[in-house]
């Protein structure tokens, strides 16, 4: 039985249909998660923390398919920013309070993060995202993820053969 945490309790309380999947409690990238779950990497979305160019502005959670790379220029354009950058893994963990491999937009609701989900999610009924801790993956309807996180959809990912499996 998959672990229960604040994310699953919140989804239960809001009566959101989801399926939780237990994985090894080690840092698995989206591609490895997809392989272990037996699903396409295009439906396992990874969350990447990004920072605006201006100091003190709220961080961004870019949610993209596991088989894609974050397009920083496209993300900046979607946010009307000149530039965005990806912090180090350590900085991302400090900003979110979550371990890399467990960073989830669902775990960071009302924590000041702007959520941008790649436009490709619009063509899917449901996607997999981290459940807010290593070893927990959650599949839920895209419309519910967008609504819960107050996310915007934008074309922020590019397909690549050289994907970082983070």
Query: What was the pLDDT predicted at 53?
Result: 80
Q: How does pLDDT run across 50-66, given as a tens digit for each residue?
A: 999 877 788 999 999 99
pLDDT at 90 over 90: yes
* % of residues, the chain, pLDDT over 70: 95
Report if pTM > 0.75: yes
What pLDDT does residue 55 have? 72
The pLDDT of residue 101 is: 87
According to the model, what pLDDT value does residue 107 have?
A: 94
CA atoms within 13 A of residue 5's CA, in its CB half-sphere: 21
> Is the per-residue pLDDT at 165 higher than 70?
no
Q: pLDDT tens across 5-53, in order?
A: 899 999 999 999 999 999 888 888 888 999 999 999 999 999 999 999 8
Domains and CATH numbers, the chain: 6-158 (3.90.960.10)
Band (166; pLDDT cuts 50, 70, 90): low
């Amino acid at each position: 039985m998959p672990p229960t945490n604040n994310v699953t309790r919140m989804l239960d309380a809001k009566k959101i249909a989801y399926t939780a999947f237990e994985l090894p409690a080690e840092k698995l990238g989206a591609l490895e998660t997809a392989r272990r779950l037996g699903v396409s990497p295009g439906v396992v979305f990874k969350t990447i923390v990004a920072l605006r160019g201006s100091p003190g502005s709220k961080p961004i959670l870019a949610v993209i398919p596991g088989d894609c790379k974050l397009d920083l220029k496209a993300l900046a354009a979607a946010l009307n920013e000149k530039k965005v950058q990806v912090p180090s893994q350590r900085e991302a963990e400090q900003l979110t309070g979550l371990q890399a491999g467990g960073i989830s937009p669902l775990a960071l609701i009302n924590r000041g993060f702007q959520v941008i989900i790649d436009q490709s999610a619009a063509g899917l009924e449901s996607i997999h995202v981290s459940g807010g801790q290593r070893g927990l993956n959650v599949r839920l309807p895209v419309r519910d993820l967008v609504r819960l996180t107050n996310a915007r959809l934008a074309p922020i990912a590019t397909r690549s053969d050289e994907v970082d499996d983070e």
